[in-house]
Structure 1
Amino acid sequence: MEIRATDPESDLARRCLSAFADELRVRFPEGFDDGDLVAARELVPPGGVLLVATADRGTGLACGAVRTIAPATGELRHMWVHPDARGQGLGRRLLGELEAHATTLGLTTLKLGTHAVLTEAVQLYRSAGYAGVEPYGDTPHVHHWFAKQLTQAADAP
């Protein structure tokens, strides 16, 4: 399995983001609109990145994005793992890769919001060191707000 930065306009990215949106339409009581997805232009360096995890044949198994929302502050968005790939640590691995990419974009803080029904996401973020914060935006479908200070590559052992 490989996790790599992907053009957010590519077919692979569109398939992953469509699967993400399709799942949220089912899981969110209020539904989900594709208009709530981040614009592709926000998910390319130097302002952001979209990562996609692929299997041997290039099948998209997971995706996640970081976009810059303020100086040195990024937002984690569209984190999704295919149901068949869950429970194997892929979400945690993807989250680590997103954090590493965020530091290369010069971000020192990552924020995120998630829906109350996504209990597995809340658990992942808390276990990865994200702490609850006051709401910071008007992102729809958010009940839990989190943030984490990132360790810069130069600070790492």
Structure 2
Amino acid sequence: MNDEIRLATPDDVPRVREVTDAAYRPYIERIGVVPVPMEADHAANVAAGRVFVTGHPVVGVLVLVPEPDHLFLDSICVHPDVRGTGAGRALLHFVDAHARALGLPEVRLYTNAMMWENQKIYPRYGYELVERRAEGVYDRLHYRKVLAPESGSGAVRG
């Protein structure tokens, strides 16, 4: 797999949809509703510059929304065929780097409480559980990660 993570283009939209659907489809039965990322307007998100992808063909997808005080990680997924290859880890590291590049001090996300795999993954990458909140038919766990400044990035004083 190519480790490059790049901004998605309109040509990527069909594959973004395929990867998202393949990654989230197994959760439909467990949570009893279609996960929100499966119903997203992928073309609009790509046009807005919110979607980043990795792989040729695309095997990993990020949807990132900059807010005034944080970067919102709207969706992260990898195709089931590449789970365990490090694609997800690379995407999560990219999220941190992208937030820093935008000058944002933290990353926020939520996940469905029934997606218990995520409850193990996010804390390993520095995310802390902030709250559990029902939003319509969705029972969501809200996480945040405060980004420490990168070492060596400060001004040199004489």
1:112 to 2:121 alignment: no
Residue in 2 that maps onto 1:133: 130
State how far apart, in whole Å, the 1-side matches of 2:136 and 2:91 are.
Answer: 22
State how far apart, in whole Å, the 2-side matches of 1:99 and 1:3 are.
Answer: 15
State how far apart, in whole Å, the 1-side matches of 2:150 and 2:90 are.
Answer: 17
Residue in 1 that maps onto 2:85: 88
Following superposition, the deviation at residue 140 of structure 1 comes to: 7.1
DSSP-derived class of the 1:110 partner: strand
Gaps of 5+ in 1: none
DSSP-derived class of the 2:131 partner: coil
Q: Which runs of 4+ in 1 moved over 6 A?
A: none
**Structure 1 residues 52 and 131 mapped into 2: Cα distance closer, same or farther (>3 Å)?**
same
Following superposition, the deviation at residue 41 of structure 1 comes to: 6.6
Percent identity (aligned): 24
CA contact (8 A) 1:73 1:110 kept: yes
State how far apart, in whole Å, the 2-side matches of 1:35 and 1:121 are.
Answer: 20
Following superposition, the deviation at residue 2 of structure 1 comes to: 2.4
**Structure 1 residues 103 and 137 mapped into 2: Cα distance closer, same or farther (>3 Å)?**
farther
State how far apart, in whole Å, the 2-side matches of 1:24 and 1:108 are.
Answer: 29
**Structure 1 residues 131 and 92 mapped into 2: Cα distance closer, same or farther (>3 Å)?**
same
Residue in 2 that maps onto 1:52: 53
TM-score, reference length from structure 1: 0.76
State how far apart, in whole Å, the 2-side matches of 1:139 and 1:15 are.
Answer: 29
The Cα RMSD (Å) is 3.0
Write the mapping of 1:1-157 to structure 2, written as runs, cut at 5 A. 1-7=2-8, 9-21=9-21, 23-28=23-28, 29-32=32-35, 34-37=38-41, 39-40=44-45, 43-44=48-49, 49-54=50-55, 58-69=56-67, 71-134=68-131, 141-153=138-150
Following superposition, the deviation at residue 11 of structure 1 comes to: 2.2
Gaps of 5+ in 2: none
DSSP-derived class of the 1:106 partner: coil
Following superposition, the deviation at residue 50 of structure 1 comes to: 2.4
* Aligned residue-pair number: 148
